[in-house]
Amino acid sequence: MSTPSLPVLVVEDDADLREAIVDTLMLSGYATLEAHDGESALACLKRSPVGLIISDAQMDPMDGYTLFGEVKRLYPGVPFILMTAYGVIERAIDLLRAGASHYLLKPFEPASLTREVAKHILSMPEGPDDEVVAESPAMKQLFSLAGRVAKSDATVLVSGPSGAGKEVLARYIHRHSARANGPFVAVNCAAIPDTLLESTLFGHEKGAFTGASQTMPGKFEQAQGGTLLLDEVTEMPLALQAKLLRVIQEREVERVGGSRTIRLDIRLVATTNRDIQSEVTAGRFREDLYFRLNVFPLRLPSLAERREDILPLARRVLKKYSEAAARPGLALSGEAERELTAYSWEGNIRELENVMQRAVILAAGAEILAADLMLQGSSGNEGVVARPTVAIESSDDTDMRSLEKRHILETLASVGGVKKLAAEKLGISERTLRYKLQRYREEDADGSFDDQDPTPI
């Protein structure tokens, strides 16, 4: 069974012709979307991913040529077919040179249309994949492109902010490639000292330098038959960039201190959190290496740009940490969900993971409350006594009990010691709160623990 295609977006200001094209595509089994001009096409692309755009050339106010420029800028990799009259074929050819997939001369036969659609349309991301979340149109489009490039051996350059999931995307490409049964080897170029990075990548022979007591294959060799990820490649020093360029060009490597060349059979994926073209302009990254890596660029949006993914990601992370803490029934309250979707997420998915791990520790009841998230500057925390930032290094029982105690006492203090209000904010019963406070009194060796209400309940 073939993988279903993403819908075809038909952009045509002639309603009769648009209807005829849509009917032809639907009879051939393709889902379709419609737009009457370039502006409405861009609005449609914001709402839904598409597998192909078929656009008329002559439209007002935005014509097909301008639409192509916007699609190339905002949705790189989406196939684009231009419909044009014979008299303006030169501009259509210019679009082909700029990256358009094909052009159709009006009038054209239905068979010509369906043949070109079958050739260029993108498919849905393949099958269920437990490692990724793609609810937003931007991510569905991205994983469709990733699935398409995965079938080739083309080098992929993934750009995007720190913590957005660039390695997750690289692993997705590996899993959906012909090399899926081979190794996936990741190297963080920013985390390895410059003096060790060369031998880490290329390996070394025994005695090649002080401390090289034995021969060691490098990451390139370890990735034979699979995929090598060069994470944060723009952090690599210039001198090593020249050596990397040669390895990529020749597809062979020499270990440090060695003379034998080793042929490579690998797929290369590189990532960066910087504007790599700016790095090239500033002279910090080699232009020739950039062109070697930028065969198939993919841009990973920040979490704030894909808000439809925030809650699915939060629920997945919550499930992981709640099960690890033996609290599998934890769920997000409505208030917590609103806080999560409204937050800026400058730290992206990495920050979301930290927030959910913290919330699991702090939650006193069966639901994660907005206060448990401890989101800085979120609306739900106004008027609440500020809590100290908690560094979560361990999730053992002792740490969880102490953090729970701190959370309960701080909440109690924030409502002036009134247990009824504290229980409501914590999402637990007054009986449970009183039980926990009694346990804290019993654990208090010097008798200094005092939780008496300032006013009777």
Q: Summarize pLDDT for 375-399 with one digit per residue, the tens.
A: 875 544 443 333 333 343 444 445 5
pLDDT in tens, 131-155: 788 888 888 888 888 988 998 999 9
Domain CATH code at residue 166: 3.40.50.300
Residues 143 and 230 in one domain: yes
Domain span at residue 371? 305-443
Residues 286 and 309 in one domain: no
What pLDDT was estimated at residue 205?
A: 83
Instruction: Tell me if 126 is assigned to some domain.
Output: no
- Rounded Cα distance, 403 and 407, in Å: 6
What pLDDT was estimated at residue 177?
A: 93
DSSP string computed for 423-452? HHHHTS-HHHHHHHHHHHHHH-SSS-----
Residues 199 and 285 in one domain: yes
Are 269 and 156 spatial neighbours (Cβ–Cβ below 8 Å)? yes
Mean pLDDT (the chain) is: 85
Residues 278 and 361 in one domain: no
- Rounded Cα distance, 132 and 415, in Å: 41
Instruction: Tell me if 424 is assigned to some domain.
Output: yes
What pLDDT was estimated at residue 193?
A: 84
Q: Flag whether pLDDT at 195 surpasses 70.
A: yes
Residues 258 and 245 in one domain: yes
In angstroms, how far is the first alpha carbon of the chain from the final one?
66
pLDDT in tens, 431-450: 777 778 887 877 775 555 55
Q: What six digits make up the tokens of 8?
A: 């075809």
φ, ψ of residue 331 to 5 degrees: the values are -140, 165
Q: 241, 267, 301: which is the final residue of a domain?
A: 301
Q: Flag whether pLDDT at 3 surpasses 80.
A: no
Q: 277, 301, 325: which is the final residue of a domain?
A: 301
The two beta strands, 261-263 and 252-254, are antiparallel
Residues 168 and 276 in one domain: yes
More confident residue, 343 or 124: 343
Q: 85, 120, 155: which is the final residue of a domain?
A: 120
Residues 223 and 114 in one domain: no
Domain CATH code at residue 404: 1.10.8.60
Instruction: Tell me if 83 is assigned to some domain.
Output: yes
Beta-strand ranges (E) seen in 213-295 are 216-217, 227-231, 252-254, 261-263, 267-272
- Mean pLDDT within 207-211: 73
Residues 248 and 144 in one domain: yes
Residues 263 and 324 in one domain: no
What pLDDT was estimated at residue 449?
A: 58
Residue type, 13: D
Residues 250 and 143 in one domain: yes
